[in-house]
């Protein structure tokens, strides 16, 4: 067996953390042959929950789990980690303005970026989950210039999985039969779930475009998009808490594909730093279709974007540009 890999989970005592850490300990993040040492970080107010979580992890007797570092100190938490899953952040509370939440998260992500840059493995792979995920990742990227920008990503895989599941359900086929949907843009209600390049493998084994199999463009251009965009809010309405089980599962899918690659001919959605593809401003953290191989992702280029899609891409780009401007103004204000 290879040496254990250190994996940091910030906000580990929270809801997603509780679903995620057993999956990591079972090998769903890095593979069934990769031992791990879990670094669990949370704030002092959550220290008891963190202790309880550590106890339960020990009680799980997970064969791949070779150690636990539970801490409230990011410098300690970041030491030597090769993967960092950022769940910790300041939630939006009733009556709070968007810029107030952003200001809290700018402070958190600046500090954690600096700690990761100084203490994590030089090739640390980061996935930011805490909202606003794309912009938190952008702040982290801008404050950790020594970490290669290709190593900093944000999670849109949950949205991707939601889109795949909706199509599979509608087609009456298993989930693996649906491939190459795309989530473009922000992890927010402006995201654009795009099926125009997606394929369905039908029961006779033939591969057909999603639109040809579903045969309902009105649904695909209307309720399907809305359902995926609003799914998180709908889960909150019913559960009174945000998606946790499905978010944890998506974190594992995101990192697993990143590290182990995507199957031949298939892509997944990841929030990554734009290289200007599809007219998205360079450096914006944007969800694109990506193919991965040996720990490197590559944006799928040259897909045809029709007028309907272009309008949706422009809307989500505009929202991210606005979020970036807000974050930049907060950073500028705090450094004066
Ligand atoms: P939660 O509120 O249950 O847990 C968050 C944890 O972060 C808490 O234990 C809190 O004490 C901790 N925390 C706060 N500030 C911290 C800091 N500075 N350092 C370390 N830990 C800190 O929230 P939950 O449900 O686990 O969600 C986590 C985040 O993920 C939220 O921001 C949520 O909106 C977001 N989310 C993102 C999704 C995505 O697809 N990108 C999907 C679902 C949730």
Ligand 1 pocket, residue 236 CB under 6 Å:
no
Which of the listed residues 48, 88, 320 should we mutate to test ligand 1's pocket, taking the one with most ligand atoms within 8 A of CB? 88
What's the pLDDT at 114?
97
Ligand 1 pocket, residue 13 CB under 6 Å:
yes
> Is residue 42 marked as binding?
yes
**Alpha-carbon distances of 215 from 57, 164, 167, 218, 227, rounded to whole Å:** 47, 16, 11, 9, 18
pLDDT above 70 (res 336) = no
pLDDT above 70 (res 119) = yes
**Do residues 137 and 162 share a domain?**
no
Q: What is the pTM of this model?
A: 0.97
In a domain, 188, yes or no: yes
**Do residues 306 and 201 share a domain?**
yes
Q: Summarize the confidence of residues 308-321 as an average pLDDT.
A: 97
Residues spanned by the domain of 41? 5-154
**Do residues 196 and 308 share a domain?**
yes
Instruction: Encode pLDDT of 30-81 as tens digits.
Output: 999 999 999 999 999 999 999 999 999 999 999 999 999 999 999 999 999 9
What Rg value do the Cα atoms of the chain yield, rounded?
20
**Do residues 103 and 56 share a domain?**
yes
What's the pLDDT at 71?
98
**Do residues 174 and 34 share a domain?**
no
**Alpha-carbon distances of 30 from 24, 233, 325, rounded to whole Å:** 7, 30, 35
**Do residues 217 and 139 share a domain?**
no
ipTM over 0.95: yes
The CATH number of the domain where 49 resides is what?
3.40.50.720
**Do residues 163 and 306 share a domain?**
yes
Percent of the chain with pLDDT over 90: 91
Q: What is the number of other CB atoms lying within 10 angstroms of the CB of residue 44?
A: 8
**Do residues 132 and 44 share a domain?**
yes
**Do residues 62 and 198 share a domain?**
no
User: On the CB side of 122, how many CA atoms lie within 13 Å of its CA?
Assistant: 0
**Do residues 310 and 166 share a domain?**
yes
The values of phi and psi at residue 76, to 5°, are -70, -45
pLDDT above 80 (res 97) = no
Instruction: Encode pLDDT of 209-232 as tens digits.
Output: 999 999 999 999 999 999 999 999
> Is residue 100 marked as binding?
no
- Count up the domains in the chain and report the number: 2
Q: Summarize the confidence of residues 299-320 as an average pLDDT.
A: 98
């Amino acid at each position: 067996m290879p040496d254990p890999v250190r994996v940091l989970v910030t906000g580990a005592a929270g809801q997603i953390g509780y679903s995620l850490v057993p999956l990591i300990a079972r090998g769903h993040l890095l593979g069934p042959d990769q031992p791990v040492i879990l670094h669990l970080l949370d704030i002092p107010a959550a220290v008891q929950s963190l202790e309880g979580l550590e106890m339960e992890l020990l009680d799980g007797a997970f064969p791949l789990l070779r150690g636990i570092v539970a801490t409230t100190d990011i410098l300690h938490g970041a030491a030597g980690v090769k993967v960092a899953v950022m769940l910790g952040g300041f939630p939006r509370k009733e009556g709070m303005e968007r810029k107030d939440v952003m200001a809290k998260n700018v402070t958190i992500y600046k500090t954690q970026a600096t700690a990761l840059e100084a203490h994590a493995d030089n090739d640390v792979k980061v996935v930011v989950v805490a909202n606003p995920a794309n912009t938190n990742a952008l702040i982290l990227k801008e404050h950790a210039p020594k970490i290669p920008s290709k190593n900093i990503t944000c999670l849109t895989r949950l949205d991707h999985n939601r889109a795949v599941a909706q199509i599979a359900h509608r087609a009456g086929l298993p989930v693996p039969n649906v491939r190459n949907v795309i989530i473009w843009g922000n992890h927010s209600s402006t995201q654009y779930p795009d099926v125009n390049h997606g394929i369905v493998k039908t029961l006779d084994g033939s591969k057909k475009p999603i639109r040809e199999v579903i045969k309902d463009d009105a649904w695909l251009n209307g309720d399907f998009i809305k359902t995926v965009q609003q799914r998180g809010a709908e889960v909150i309405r019913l559960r009174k808490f945000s998606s946790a089980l499905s978010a944890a599962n998506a974190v594992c899918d995101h990192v697993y594909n990143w590290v182990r690659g995507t199957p031949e001919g298939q892509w997944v959605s990841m929030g990554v730093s734009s290289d200007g593809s599809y007219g998205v401003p360079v450096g914006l953290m944007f969800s694109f279709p990506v193919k991965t191989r040996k720990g490197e992702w590559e944006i799928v280029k040259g897909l045809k974007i029709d007028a309907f899609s272009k309008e949706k891409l422009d809307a989500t780009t505009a929202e991210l540009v606005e979020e970036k401007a807000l974050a930049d103004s907060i950073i500028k204000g705090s450094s004066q």
